[in-house]
Structure 1
Amino acid sequence: MNPAADLAFFQNLYDGVSLYVVPEPANAGATPAMQPEAAAEPNQAAVPAPVVPAPPVQPAPIAASVPASASAPTPKPEPIPQPPVAPAKLPSLANMPLQPTAPPPAAAVPERQPVVLTLAELPAAATAPAGRVQPTPTQSPVAHIPFSTLGSNPNGLIILVRLPENDFRKLPRNVFLNNILKAIRLIVEDVVLVNIEHASYPVALCTLRQTLAAKQFLAFGKNLLDVAVYTTQPYEPVLLFGDTAFLGAGEISMLEYDAGRKKQLWQAMQRMFM
């Protein structure tokens, strides 16, 4: 069969339709007959085949799909995980011993030495009036009269008062008393406060000397010391029995607001201690 003649025949038969003839190999047999239903009719549009959606493609890992030479940004290296560090275990307050912390050693402060007052030359006390019983430093009819004290300096100045218990406890903070002591270079710690607990009787000198060795007395009130009741005058310092200096004055509550009596007291203290 002549292929060129066949081609011309089919071109005339299918006018307007472009045919493509697959060349046969040299050793091939006769060309199979065309199937009538395979030929398309003239001027008939080809029907497109239905589009079947392709199954979704699973995205491959980026490391496998992206070549090494791609311009994608280089991922940052992941930090190397560090092993967890256990927090430092603080000591529990409940298990700590309750011991006070010793303060740092302070500079050594010299202990204040009590001031010993030097007595001036004092006149001797007058003798007791006739008919009056004068107690002695060792015997007295009022030796049983009780008293209370504040202070720890048995060799210091003895201050005699007669006050209610509450007022006596407040006496170390009395401004007037502290000013009087400051004037003779003393403080409250240098003296012993003695409160007579009887409403009218004095305290006995022999009783005081059982616990106190002082020989200097400053009395704020009347009838406070048995050996000075009949032989002394207010604001006149005297020497009793050759070794005991005594100065009587008004009550502290009265002296605080009386400038005249305060002046008298100061002048008497100058004669006694200076």
Structure 2
Amino acid sequence: MQNSLTTPAKRRTARSGRAREIWAAYGFISPWIIGFLVFTAGPMVASLFLSFTDYDGIGEAHNVGFDNYRQLFEDPSVARSLMNTLAFTVLRVPLSMAFALLLAMLLLKAGRAAGFFRTVFYLPVMTPSVAVGILFLLLFNGNVGLVNHVLGFVGIDGPSWTTDGAWVKPGLVLTTLWSVGSTVVIYFAALKNVPKDLYEAAELDGVGRWNSFRHVTLPQISGTLFFTLIVNTIASLQTFTEAYTAFFGSSNSQTYSNDAALFYVVYLFQQAFQYMHMGYASALAWLLFLVIVAITVVQAKVSKRFVYYEGDQR
């Protein structure tokens, strides 16, 4: 009798305790929720509204229907900037991932010095992107740049990195390798978690280093590789600061090959803050959002064939 009377009270107490825990959790994450609503979700909704208007950022917004979106398909600069961005992404993402993986594997051989070199590799990430853009002009100048001087020592006539449209994007890609430190740290952690007994088993079976890397290391860190693939792809599609600083932000920018460096976000920035076409710039932003979503979905679909997760029964 006593248990039947106290059971409902215990249940009410348990529900009350769970409710307090839930509200406490919401309280702890409320700064993030408020920040997301104010700085992400709110501006996205506002830009969606503005994409259907003619708005200069000062006067009143006038509804123009789908005119801004129709203009996207008629504006040759949209296609040019999008192709430049996609070409840059195709070059940068695999190269940066391979370079970061190489550095991470070298860290495994560093022993006690790994902590020092991990810090050294990560420090360039703290360098402002504007400085990296200026560094590009200093290093890759066709006449006095350090890169061409080094190539000259080995008998190679370096190209005009900043004026030849064919070399602008490769030069920018090489410059961005300066800041792969965060990817290196992620790969280093993933490599440390690969079970050593798998390498020992492969060695007992007479598997060479290359096949061990191919059949043991890569499958074990494939989830991490997929994560960095997504992150680096999204970051590359939104590249802005380095290209704008090097080719559009300097007083002598007209001497450089601007068309080859006209990335999508650079063109979006020009429309929004140089020409004050806020409505059209908002439509550009939503097109980029859809492109990123489409590429991410394709990558997620393709990854099911290559990404291994521990406990996966496929």
Same fold (TM over 0.5): no
Higher relative helix content: 2
So what's the TM-score if we normalise by structure 2? 0.18
More strand by share: 1
